[in-house]
């Protein structure tokens, strides 16, 4: 996968920079501001190379799952409602006191495709949120798995939380 190769290359380059700083620059010039900058750059590059790779791969899987899920009849993007809202960071909900709503969140709404309305009807079971678009999509994919069969039919209410009981 291209993403993994890119991350591995960034890690390799970060190690090269750090090795240069430790094994050449420090011996020749000592510990100075440039040495510190090289170390900071190497560390930042390494951290960037590992930043949310798991979330990004999970996001790609979730997106692919949602795009192909039969409940959306190939119209996943068309029916996706996206809002960016500010919430109270203590509760992750909108507070009546707007001054407390300082944390941005992505909220998504969707539902199954319905020929009756030639569009998607809103299913509150699929209302999803996250601190990023990626997290919100992952949340929606989990909700689709919980509330719908792979053929697109809704699961009966008695099965919605069955997976939790099995764990």
Per-residue pLDDT of the chain (167 residues), as tens digits, is 445 566 677 778 878 887 887 887 777 777 777 777 777 777 777 666 655 555 667 888 999 999 999 999 888 888 899 999 999 999 989 999 999 999 999 999 998 888 777 778 889 999 999 999 999 999 999 999 999 999 989 888 766 665 544 44
28 shares its domain with 62: no
39 shares its domain with 115: no
- Residue 166 confidence (pLDDT): 47
160 shares its domain with 90: yes
Predicted TM-score (pTM) of this structure: 0.63
Range of the domain at 32: 2-51
- Residue 66 confidence (pLDDT): 94
91 shares its domain with 139: yes
- Residue 1 confidence (pLDDT): 44
118 shares its domain with 80: yes
Domain boundary among 51, 71, 89: 51
157 shares its domain with 93: yes
90 shares its domain with 162: yes
What is the domain count for the chain? 2
61 shares its domain with 84: yes
Q: Which long-range contacts (CB under 8 A, 24 or more apart) does 101-106 make?
A: 103/131, 104/131, 105/129, 105/130, 105/131, 105/136, 106/82, 106/130, 106/131, 106/132, 106/133, 106/135, 106/136
């Amino acid at each position: 996968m291209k993403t993994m190769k890119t991350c591995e290359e960034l890690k390799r380059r970060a190690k090269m920079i750090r090795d240069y700083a430790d094994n050449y620059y420090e011996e020749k010039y000592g510990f100075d501001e440039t040495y510190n900058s090289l170390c900071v750059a190497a560390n930042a590059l390494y951290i960037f190379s590992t930043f949310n790779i798991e979330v990004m791969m999970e996001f790609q899987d979730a997106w692919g799952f949602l795009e192909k899920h039969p409940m959306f009849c190939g119209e996943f993007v068309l029916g996706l409602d996206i809002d960016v809202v500010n919430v109270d960071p203590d509760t992750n909900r909108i507070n009546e006191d707007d001054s407390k709503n300082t944390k941005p969140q992505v909220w998504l709404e969707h539902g199954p495709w319905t020929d009756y309305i030639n569009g998607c009807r809103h299913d509150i079971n699929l209302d999803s949120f996250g601190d990023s678009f990626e997290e919100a999509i992952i949340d929606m994919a989990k909700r689709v798995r919980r509330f719908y069969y792979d053929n697109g039919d809704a699961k009966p209410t008695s099965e919605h939380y069955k997976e939790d009981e099995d764990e």
